[in-house]
Each structure stands twice: as C-alpha cells, then as structure tokens.
C-alpha cells in the first residue's frame, strides 16, 4: 500500500472507531488540533501507564512529578526559549502561503538526493550483482557533481544560520531558484525568525509585565523542581524525575495528523548524574529506551537511531529514535545529554543554588543531565499505524484487524452471549462482573457472532469470550484469540488467569 494511502486509512479508521477526531469538527475543525475519542483515551492511558511503570516503578531512583503548565516567564529566558526557540519563516507574496525557510531548502536538497538515488538504481540494474554502490558514488561524475551541490548548499545554510544572517538565507533561496509550490512564483518576503512559544496574559496584568507562555516542553518544570524533589525525597545522585504533560508549540507548518500538533503531550525524564558520568548514562538510556520500544513487538526493523551531528546549544550528545511511520522514518523520541546547561542557567537567573552535595566526592556541584523525551501522540500514531492490517482469510473473506499490543489495547475482553435469550445474557453479565474488576471489558449481544468478532478485531480487542448453552451446564466459555483466531474452552474460574497471561503489562518487562 502506498505510504500516503496507509496514513489516510489510519486517519479514517481512527475516526470511524472512536480513536481520534478532528478538534471542534462541527465548526470545520481547527488546524493541527485533535481530540482523542472513547477508545483513543484508553489507548493513550495505557501507553502512559507502560511508560510510567518502566520509568518510575521499575527504577528505584526515579520519581514522578506533575508541574504546572504556566511557569514564571524568567524560566524561558534562562532555558534559552525566549531568545532562541525560533524557526526561520518566509512568505510567498503571491500565494500568501507561509513556509519554513529551512524546510524549503531541505526539500530542494531532497530532490537532488532523489536524482542520485535514481542514478544508483539505474546503474544497479545495468551492472547486476557486480554493482558496488560505494564505488559508484565516489567515481560517477553525475553523482559527484550532485553531491558537491548538496554540500555547498548545506555549508551556505549552516553558515547563515550560525551567523543569524537571515538576508543570506533569503539569498540562498533566491539563488537556488526555489519557487512557491502553490503559486509557482519566486516572489518572496524577507526571512524572519518566528518564536514557537504561545504567549498569553496572566490575570489582570496587561502589557509586557503580564506576559507568560504556555510551556513548549515539560522539562523545565523538572529543572526548577530539582532541589525540591532531591531534598524532600532525600534523593542521591544519580536519580531521575519523570513527568507526563501537555506542551505547546506554535508550529509554522503542522500536518501529518497527530505527528505534529500545536498542542501535544510529552513523556519526559531528566536523569541527574555526577559531572563526567554523562556519557555512560547517555548510552544506558539509549539502550533502555530502544528496548522499551522493541518489547511492544511492533517490528524491530521499524526503529533506528539517528545521532545528531549539529547539536542544540545545551547538548553534548543527542540521538533520536526514529520510527517507520506511514510517512517514512521520523523522530519518535529524543535522548539528549544536556550537560549542566539548564540547572546552571536557572542558578544564574534565579540567584538560587541548584547543587548537590556529593558525600563521596566531598564537594557540591551542579549535576549533569541526560534526558529522554518521547511524544505521547507520536507513540500513539506509531502503535496505531503499525497495528492496522487488512488480512485475507481462508475461504476468500477479509478482515480488518488492529494488532495492538495486548497490554496497550483499549478493550481487553469482549463478552459475547451467543444468543439474546435462554439465560445466556444473564450468564454473560456474570462473567462481565467478574472481569471488569481488573480489565476494561465490553459487552455486545447485537448481530451474529461473526460480525461481533469483526467489530472487536477492528478496535484491537485481544480476547473475546463467548457464552453458549453449554456454559450454563459446564461452567466453561469459549475464548477466542484476536491474532490467531483460535478458540479454546476455558472454565470460568480459570478465566482471569487466562486473560492475565495474554494482556498483562508484566510480560513486556520480562
Ligand atoms: P521535530 O524535529 O520533529 O520538530 P523536536 O526535535 O523539536 O521534533 P523535541 O524538542 O526533541 O522535538 O521534543 C521531544 C519529543 O516531543 C519529540 O521526539 C516528539 O516525539 C515530540 N514532539 C515535538 N514536537 C511535537 C509536535 N509538534 N507534535 C507532536 N509531538 C511533538
């Protein structure tokens, strides 16, 4: 299936079955804002629970936090967001469309890259098994010329951005002859920096004095509480603080469904370590985080690391875990070695000491920080897009099934009386009462049993329990597995254990 079609399918399915709706849809929606429906909120909560258990419950030295979205405005001065959380934007005067200047340049480069890939493919076809890609790239005249062009553009762009020279960025766009995809014209405005933070006003104070921001990341709530948590929890280094919460960024171009939104949720953990230990812990967290993802069984080949060459002002090492979304490999989670940048900056701006007294080293110092930062909505999209399948069944029929990892599935068990009579609904409700103590279960007695199975497949329910006439006499039910579609008889008294074996989150940690 073409990648774009797959994304469209996911969006359509998510809406049809109550996972994700466009925000304020009756007013034609609001761009890049989405609402999670009745099943979406369950899946989201389960992803959060899996992350929280892995970070907080499984680590004796990690604790949680829930900081407020509004923070003192100096926080963002200290973190660098007021001055440097910008994207360079440019408008086309004819179409009135706005673009990120860096994205226009990246797309131009991607076209040259595509030409190189085409040449490689052609040569591969011509030379067959004898083809050596590395040698071809380093000797073929066309490829060398194209690569040199890419390098030249990258160098010019990097130099312009580092010098904060927006005139040079515009000159680059003009020299490359980049045209607006909508109007086709090269009639561009100057490039301007656009700050991604949303501003609002606090209480009755108007004007600059009352300006505050919606937090663009949850991390700063952790940094400003570093000492509160360390002291009240008597934490010793190394230790971590984990937080799940909303973040807001006024993205210039927000698209690709819930991948890039203006209001989204982050699951972040800041791990405080002694200076000098950061590389060891950076590697540790890279390993831990990739293992957390892979345990879900979405497919090992769907993940890759992308190490950053150009680092943010606060980092000494950074890597993204990229996921193979329907739009291709894109950033899912970031792991950053943030040095002592943030705590030091907060010390300077607040005048308070944010240090840890190390009894072994007999000195106090500002800790270094390794951060893991995962977008909850991107994680949701990763699960949904890889789970949705259309399967051909024996006998020629088809089914749409969501192979959501059972521990994350919104509904764990569907309770289905075979008929709506003969005391079967009553017996089914007894089983429902039993299972709902531990699991999110759904009762369904409408339509033929086959159609009910299909409905549960489509929302990813791992198990269906069918109550039939035999149940009334032998006290057993039929348990049907979503993935294998196999059915087995299970005594009602053994049902909880059978469900637990299938859907327990504990299996993900083994
Ligand atoms: P990108 O390069 O895609 O804009 P970023 O590098 O700015 O992302 P970080 O600042 O590292 O992202 O944020 C950490 C995580 O938060 C990301 O890995 C991503 O999962 C999530 N995230 C960031 N921006 C958005 C957004 N606009 N919508 C949804 N999730 C986001």
pLDDT digits (tens, 9 = 90+) for 397-446: 899 999 999 999 999 999 999 999 999 999 999 999 999 999 999 999 99
Segment 239-246 mean pLDDT? 98
Between strands 398-402 and 413-417, the pairing is: unpaired
Segment 382-410 mean pLDDT? 94
pLDDT of residue 106: 87
Task: Work out the pLDDT band at 229, boundaries 50, 70, 90.
Answer: very high
Sign of CA dihedral 381, 386, 390, 395: negative
Q: What percent of the chain has pLDDT over 70?
A: 98
Q: Is the pLDDT of residue 205 over 60?
A: yes
Q: Is the pLDDT of residue 3 over 70?
A: no
pLDDT of residue 31: 87
> How many angstroms is it from 497 CA to the middle of ligand 1?
40
Q: Is the pLDDT of residue 1 over 60?
A: no
Task: Work out the pLDDT band at 163, boundaries 50, 70, 90.
Answer: confident
**How do residues 61-94 score in pLDDT, each as one tens digit?**
999 999 999 999 999 999 999 887 888 899 999 9
With vertex at residue 389, the alpha carbon angle to CA 387 and CA 390, rounded to the nearest 5 degrees, is: 170
Which residue has the CA at smallest separation from atom 30 of ligand 1? Answer: 375
Which residue has the CA at smallest separation from atom 1 of ligand 1? Answer: 331
Separation of CA 224 from chain center: 25
pLDDT of residue 252: 79
When mean pLDDT is compared across 156-165, 368-377, 460-469, the lowest value belongs to: 156-165
With vertex at residue 72, the alpha carbon angle to CA 70 and CA 76, rounded to the nearest 5 degrees, is: 95
pLDDT of residue 86: 82
391: tokens are 């399967």
Residues 62, 239 contacting (CB under 8 angstroms): yes
Which residue has the CA at smallest separation from atom 3 of ligand 1? Answer: 331
Strand, coil or helix: what is 35? strand
| Alpha-helical runs (H) found in 19-140 | 38-52, 74-79, 81-84, 101-127, 133-139
Segment 130-147 mean pLDDT? 93
Q: Which helix (H) or strand (E) segment is 491 a member of? A: strand 487-491
Task: Work out the pLDDT band at 310, boundaries 50, 70, 90.
Answer: low
Is 417 close to ligand 1, i.e. is its CB under 6 Å away? no
Is 244 close to ligand 1, i.e. is its CB under 6 Å away? no
> How many angstroms is it from 260 CA to the middle of ligand 1?
7
Segment 236-263 mean pLDDT? 92
**Ligand 1 atom closest to residue 249's alpha carbon, by position in its atom list:** 27
Is 377 close to ligand 1, i.e. is its CB under 6 Å away? yes
When mean pLDDT is compared across 16-20, 28-32, 200-204, 326-330, the lowest value belongs to: 200-204
Which residue has the CA at smallest separation from atom 10 of ligand 1? Answer: 217
pLDDT of residue 72: 94
Pocket test for ligand 1, best of 375, 376, 379 (most atoms within 8 A of CB): 375
Is 87 close to ligand 1, i.e. is its CB under 6 Å away? no
Residues 248, 198 contacting (CB under 8 angstroms): yes
**How do residues 468-492 score in pLDDT, each as one tens digit?**
999 999 999 999 999 999 999 999 9
For the chain, what is the total number of helices (H) and then of strands (E)? 18, 23
What integer best gives the mean pLDDT of the chain? Answer: 93
Which residue has the CA at smallest separation from atom 24 of ligand 1? Answer: 260
pLDDT of residue 253: 76
Which residue has the CA at smallest separation from atom 4 of ligand 1? Answer: 260
Which residue has the CA at smallest separation from atom 21 of ligand 1? Answer: 375
Q: What percent of the chain has pLDDT over 90?
A: 82
> How many angstroms is it from 153 CA to the middle of ligand 1?
25
Q: Is the pLDDT of residue 39 over 60?
A: yes
Is 333 close to ligand 1, i.e. is its CB under 6 Å away? yes
Phi and psi at residue 412, in whole multiples of 5°? -85, -40
- Using alpha carbons, select from 374, 371, 69, 68 the residue that is nearest to residue 240: 371
Please give the biggest Cα pair distance in the chain: 83
Whole-model pTM? 0.87
pLDDT of residue 167: 94
**Ligand 1 atom closest to residue 266's alpha carbon, by position in its atom list:** 16
Is 261 close to ligand 1, i.e. is its CB under 6 Å away? yes
Is 373 close to ligand 1, i.e. is its CB under 6 Å away? yes
pLDDT of residue 394: 86
- Using alpha carbons, select from 221, 199, 222 the residue that is nearest to residue 212: 199
């Amino acid at each position: 299936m073409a990648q774009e079609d797959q994304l469209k399918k996911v969006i359509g399915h998510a809406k049809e079955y109550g996972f994700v709706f466009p925000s304020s849809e009756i007013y034609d929606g609001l761009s890049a804002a989405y609402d999670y429906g009745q099943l979406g909120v369950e899946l989201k909560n389960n992803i959060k629970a899996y992350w929280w258990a892995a970070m907080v419950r499984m680590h004796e030295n990690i604790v949680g936090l829930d900081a407020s979205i509004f923070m003192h405005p100096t926080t963002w001065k200290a973190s660098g967001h007021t001055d440097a959380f910008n994207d360079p934007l440019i408008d086309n005067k004819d179409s009135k469309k706005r673009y990120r200047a860096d994205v226009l340049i990246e797309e131009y480069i991607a076209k040259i890259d595509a030409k190189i890939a085409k040449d490689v493919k052609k040569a591969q076809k011509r030379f067959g098994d004898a083809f050596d890609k590395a040698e071809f790239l380093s000797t073929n005249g066309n490829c060398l010329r194209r690569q040199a062009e890419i390098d030249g553009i990258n160098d010019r762009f990097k130099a312009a951005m580092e010098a904060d020279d927006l005139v040079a960025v515009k000159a680059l766009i003009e020299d490359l002859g980049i045209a607006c995809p909508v109007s086709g014209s090269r009639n561009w405005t100057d490039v301007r920096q656009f700050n991604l933070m949303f501003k609002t006003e606090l209480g009755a104070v108007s004007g600059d004095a009352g300006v505050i921001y919606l937090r663009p990341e949850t991390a700063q709530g952790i940094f400003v509480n570093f000492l509160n948590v360390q002291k009240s929890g008597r934490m010793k280094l190394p230790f971590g603080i984990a937080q799940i919460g909303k973040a807001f960024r006024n993205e210039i171009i927000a698209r690709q469904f819930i991948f890039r939104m203006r209001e989204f949720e982050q699951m972040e953990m800041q791990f405080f370590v002694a200076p000098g230990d950061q590389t060891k812990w950076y590697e540790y967290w890279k390993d831990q985080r990739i293992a957390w993802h892979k345990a879900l069984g979405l497919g090992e080949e769907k993940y890759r690391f992308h190490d950053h060459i150009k680092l943010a002002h606060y980092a000494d090492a950074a890597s993204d875990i990229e996921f193979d979304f329907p739009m291709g490999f894109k950033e899912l989670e970031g792991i950053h070695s943030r040095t002592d940048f943030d705590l030091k900056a907060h010390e300077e701006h607040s005048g308070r000491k944010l240090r840890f007294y190390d009894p072994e080293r007999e000195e106090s110092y500002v800790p270094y920080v390794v951060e893991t930062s995962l977008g909850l909505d991107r994680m949701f999209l990763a699960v949904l897009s890889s789970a949705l399948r259309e399967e051909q069944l024996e006998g020629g029929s088809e089914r749409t099934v969501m192979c959501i990892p059972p521990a994350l599935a919104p509904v764990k068990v569907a309770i289905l009386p075979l008929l709506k009579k003969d005391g079967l609904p009553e017996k089914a409700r007894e089983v429902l009462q039993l299972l709902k103590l531990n699991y999110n279960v759904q009762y369904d007695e409408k339509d033929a049993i086959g159609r009910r199975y299909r409905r549960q497949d489509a929302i990813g329910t791992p198990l269906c329990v069918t109550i039939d006439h035999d149940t009334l006499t032998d006290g057993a039910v039929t348990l049907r597995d979503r993935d294998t579609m196999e059915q087995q008889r299970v005594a009602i008294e053994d049902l909880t254990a059978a469900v637990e074996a299938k859907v327990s989150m504990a299996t993900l940690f083994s």
